[in-house]
Structure 1
Amino acid sequence: MALVGRARTRHGGALRADLPPLVRAIAPSPSLLGLPLLVSGLAGLVIGVNGEESFLARISLPVTLLGLALFLGGREVFRHTWVAIAYLAFMVPLPWTTLEVLTFKSRLLDASVSAEALRWLRVPVHQDGFMLQLPQMTLEVADVCSSIPILAALLSLGVAYASVTRRPIAMKVFLVVATIPLAVLSNIVRITTTAAGVHYIGAWTLGTVYHQFNGTVTFLLTFVSLLLLDSLLVWSARSRAS
Structure 2
Amino acid sequence: MSTAPAKADFLLTTGQSLWTLARRWWWLLAAFALVYGQILVDLVREWWTNDDYSHGFLVPIAVAYLLYEKRHELAEIPPATSWFGFIAILLSQVVLLVGYLGAEFFLQRTSMVLFIGGVVLFMKGWRYLGAVFFGLVLILLAIPLPAIIFNAVALPLQLLASSWAESFLRICQIPVYRDGNVLQLSTQLLNVTEACSGIRSLMSLVTLAMMLAYFLPMRWWARLAFIATSVPIALAANAFRVGGTGLMARWFGQEAAEGFFHSFSGWVVFVVAFVILLSELMLLQRLAGKRSNSE
With structure 1 as the length reference, what TM-score do the two structures score? Answer: 0.84
1:64-79 equivalent positions in 2, closer than 5 A: 64-79=115-130
Q: Which residue of 1 aligns with 2:160?
A: 109
Aligned partner letter, 2:116: L
Q: Which residue of 1 aligns with 2:24?
A: 12
Structure 2: which 5+ runs fail to align?
1-18, 29-63
1:1-242 equivalent positions in 2, closer than 5 A: 11-12=23-24, 20=68, 21-22=71-72, 23-200=74-251, 203=254, 205-206=256-257, 209-240=260-291, 241-242=293-294
| Cα 1:9/1:36, change in 2 over 3 Å | closer
- Taking the aligned partners of 1:53 and 1:193, their CA distance within structure 2 comes to 38
Aligned partner letter, 2:204: A
| Cα 1:206/1:116, change in 2 over 3 Å | same
Aligned partner letter, 1:154: L
Identity score, percent = 26
CA-CA distance at 1:103 after TM superposition: 1.4
CA-CA distance at 1:12 after TM superposition: 2.3
Aligned partner letter, 1:76: R
| Structure 2 contact 222–288 (Cα < 8 Å) conserved | no
Structure 1: which 5+ runs fail to align?
1-6
Cα RMSD for the two superposed structures = 2.8
With structure 2 as the length reference, what TM-score do the two structures score? Answer: 0.70
| Structure 1 contact 90–153 (Cα < 8 Å) conserved | no
| Cα 1:44/1:239, change in 2 over 3 Å | same
Give 3-state SS (helix, strand or coil) of 1:127's partner. Answer: strand
Q: Which residue of 1 aligns with 2:9?
A: none
Higher helix share: 2
- Taking the aligned partners of 2:159 and 2:258, their CA distance within structure 1 comes to 24
- Taking the aligned partners of 2:199 and 2:188, their CA distance within structure 1 comes to 25
| Structure 2 contact 85–117 (Cα < 8 Å) conserved | yes
- Taking the aligned partners of 1:62 and 1:199, their CA distance within structure 2 comes to 48
Greater Cα offset, 47-56 or 112-121: 47-56
| Cα 1:228/1:205, change in 2 over 3 Å | farther
Count the aligned residue pairs. 234
- Taking the aligned partners of 2:20 and 2:171, their CA distance within structure 1 comes to 69
Deviation per CA, 1:6-40, whole angstroms, max 9, x where unpaired?
Answer: x988812999xx96432345442222232333332
- Taking the aligned partners of 1:13 and 1:66, their CA distance within structure 2 comes to 16
- Taking the aligned partners of 2:271 and 2:258, their CA distance within structure 1 comes to 19
- Taking the aligned partners of 1:110 and 1:10, their CA distance within structure 2 comes to 49
- Taking the aligned partners of 2:177 and 2:239, their CA distance within structure 1 comes to 16
Give 3-state SS (helix, strand or coil) of 2:129's partner. Answer: helix
Give 3-state SS (helix, strand or coil) of 1:71's partner. Answer: helix
Aligned partner letter, 2:118: G
| Structure 1 contact 145–214 (Cα < 8 Å) conserved | no
| Structure 1 contact 206–212 (Cα < 8 Å) conserved | no
Aligned partner letter, 1:231: M
- Taking the aligned partners of 1:8 and 1:235, their CA distance within structure 2 comes to 44
| Cα 1:71/1:239, change in 2 over 3 Å | same
Aligned partner letter, 1:94: L
| Structure 2 contact 222–285 (Cα < 8 Å) conserved | no
Deviation per CA, 1:138-169, whole angstroms, max 9, x where unpaired?
Answer: 21111111112343222211211212211112
